């Protein structure tokens, strides 16, 4: 069993992992940048190590300093949460070479599924439905134009190593394509250091459905139902819910089976997510696999009763899954709202709601100074009800209670969205 975990992250996910470890009797080591010296995760962990200046490249993305902190502190495992190094195959490989347990899949799987072109071809070989698109990396705009013409407009141009909506553009005509390709490629080079692109048919107004996967080291794989992440802005998720309100039991079973098949095709281990695009005619396509814990994992925890962080640690420790697919039951309905900052600065007052079926995952507190260097998410508000209507009513009430003063937030916008659900 893992004895000591270094959390290579910050914010609410670092706090979430520390609490799970504490409940399991596992020691924790926090790492922090100079900007996060007073951050909550540094106060909750058993130990805290400064790994550099505020910029991510010099701290939370600095592999050598994180490995050094792990070895120096005596931690035998690393949890990367989401973002930063969580889907960096080079970092996972470095952990393997240093005999440090990486709480996640093998580096080879991260590499394969992190490359969208390779992931797509892997899924095609496994018989998983994919969106029509290019089968190879596209570097040249003229080659890209020919592929777009063959696929048929509209098309979406994506960075092969992309994520978070960066290096992604939609083109409805050949004229738009030429400009969109150049823009996306430049953005990909700046954001990911790689200008490799791929092109696929653009599915208009689909639902974004993802299935949560858990897989152990012995070939056992289960899915924990789906999350509907269709409410987005600029390709960034805002609200997630489980289960999806439009999936029939038959379609849910079919998509779940395909998700498990996809995970087995790459010999996946640990927690992961298979993302699909669902059209109005119930045709669905594999979009990508996230080889990490997701921001929205709490909604799955609510409806299944499983603690996904603890499950990750057990799997990484070599334990087999203690349940089969038939044991998984979806109970009630859960919704998550991401509360984001619109500016940096000092939080002068803060209040979060409570009560039955209300959960807050956050790392902010009264007097906390939100730094300008990192992701804008301040908190996740998650509710659970017997039905979707119950959950919506609970979320509406809970959002109305949230107070964060001193900085701007998106709370009012989230409330407007919930009112329309």
Cα 255 to Cα 36: distance, rounded to the nearest angstrom = 41
In CATH, 132-201 is 3.30.1490.20? yes
Q: Give me the mean pLDDT over the 332-357 stretch.
A: 97
Q: Which of 5-9, 160-164, 290-294, 388-392 has the lowest mean pLDDT?
A: 160-164
Look at residue 393 and tell me whether its pLDDT is greater than 70: yes
The H helix count followed by the E strand count for the chain is 13, 20
39 and 114 Cβ atoms separated by less than 8 Å: no
Q: What integer pLDDT is reported at residue 133 of this predicted model?
A: 87
The number of residues making up the chain comes to 421
- Helix, coil or strand: residue 151: helix
For residue 272 the two structure tokens come to 């992961």
Q: What integer pLDDT is reported at residue 164 of this predicted model?
A: 65
Nearest to 339 by CA among 260, 193, 239: 239
Cα 377 to Cα 354: distance, rounded to the nearest angstrom = 20
CATH number of this structure's domain 4-103: 3.40.50.20
Q: Which residues are catalytic?
A: 292
Nearest to 237 by CA among 224, 249, 251, 227: 227
Q: What is the DSSP string of 152-178?
A: -SSEEEEETT--TTTTEEEESSHHHHH
Q: Give me the mean pLDDT over the 364-389 stretch.
A: 97
Q: What integer pLDDT is reported at residue 190 of this predicted model?
A: 82
Q: Give me the mean pLDDT over the 50-63 stretch.
A: 97
Q: What integer pLDDT is reported at residue 163 of this predicted model?
A: 67
189 pLDDT band, cuts 50/70/90, is: confident
> Domain extents for the chain?
4-103, 132-201, 207-420
For the beta sheet containing 168-171, the strands, ordered from the edge strand earlier in sequence to the opposite edge, are: 168-171, 155-159, 197-201
Cα 91 to Cα 146: distance, rounded to the nearest angstrom = 37
309 and 16 Cβ atoms separated by less than 8 Å: yes
Nearest to 9 by CA among 34, 41, 45, 37: 41
Q: What integer pLDDT is reported at residue 145 of this predicted model?
A: 94
- Cα–Cα distances (Å) from 259 to 189, 266, 411, in that order, read 31, 11, 33
Mean pLDDT score of the chain:
95
E strand map for 17-65: 27-33, 47-52
- Write out pLDDT tens, residues 57-104: 999 999 999 999 999 999 999 999 999 999 999 999 999 999 999 999
Q: Name the fold adopted by 207-420.
A: D-amino Acid Aminotransferase; Chain A, domain 1 (3.30.470)
């Amino acid at each position: 069993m893992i004895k000591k975990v270094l959390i290579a992250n910050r914010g609410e996910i670092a706090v979430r992992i520390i609490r799970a470890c504490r409940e399991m009797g596992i020691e924790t080591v926090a790492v922090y940048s100079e900007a996060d010296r007073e951050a909550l995760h540094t106060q909750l962990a058993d130990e805290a190590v400064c790994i550099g200046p505020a910029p991510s490249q010099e701290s939370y993305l600095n592999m050598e300093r994180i490995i050094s902190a792990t070895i120096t502190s005596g931690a035998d495992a690393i949890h990367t949460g989401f973002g930063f190094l969580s889907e960096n195959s080079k970092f996972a490989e470095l952990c393997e070479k240093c005999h440090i347990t990486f709480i996640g899949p093998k580096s080879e799987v991260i590499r394969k599924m992190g490359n969208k072109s390779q992931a797509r071809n892997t899924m095609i070989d496994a018989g998983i439905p994919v969106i029509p698109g290019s089968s190879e990396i596209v570097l040249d705009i003229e080659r890209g134009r020919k592929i777009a013409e063959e696929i048929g407009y509209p098309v979406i141009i994506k960075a092969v190593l992309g994520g978070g909506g960066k290096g992604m553009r939609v083109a409805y005509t050949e004229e738009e394509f030429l400009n969109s390709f150049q823009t996306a490629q430049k953005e990909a080079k700046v954001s990911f250091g790689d200008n490799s692109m791929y092109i696929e048919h653009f599915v208009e107004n689909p639902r974004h459905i993802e299935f949560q996967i858990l897989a152990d080291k012995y070939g056992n794989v289960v899915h924990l139902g789906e999350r509907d992440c269709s409410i987005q802005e600029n390709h960034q998720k805002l609200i997630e819910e489980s289960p999806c309100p439009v999936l029939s039991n038959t379609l849910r079973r079919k998509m779940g089976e395909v998700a498990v098949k996809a995970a087995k095709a790459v010999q996946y281990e640990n927690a992961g997510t298979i993302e699909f695009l669902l059209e109005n005619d119930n045709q669905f396509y594999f979009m990508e696999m996230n080889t990490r814990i997701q921001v929205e994992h709490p909604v799955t925890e609510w409806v299944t009763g499983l603690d996904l962080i603890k499950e990750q640690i057990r799997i990484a420790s070599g334990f087999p899954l203690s349940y089969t697919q038939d044991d998984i039951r979806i109970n009630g309905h859960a919704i998550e709202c991401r509360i984001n900052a619109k500016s940096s600065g000092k939080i002068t007052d803060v209040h979060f709601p409570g009560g039955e079926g209300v959960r807050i995952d956050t790392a902010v507190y009264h007097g906390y100074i939100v730094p300008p260097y990192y992701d804008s998410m301040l908190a996740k508000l998650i509710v659970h009800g017997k039905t979707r209507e119950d959950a919506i009513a609970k979320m509406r009430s809970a959002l109305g209670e949230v107070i964060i003063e001193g900085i701007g937030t998106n709370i009012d916008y989230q409330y407007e969205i919930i009112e329309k659900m």
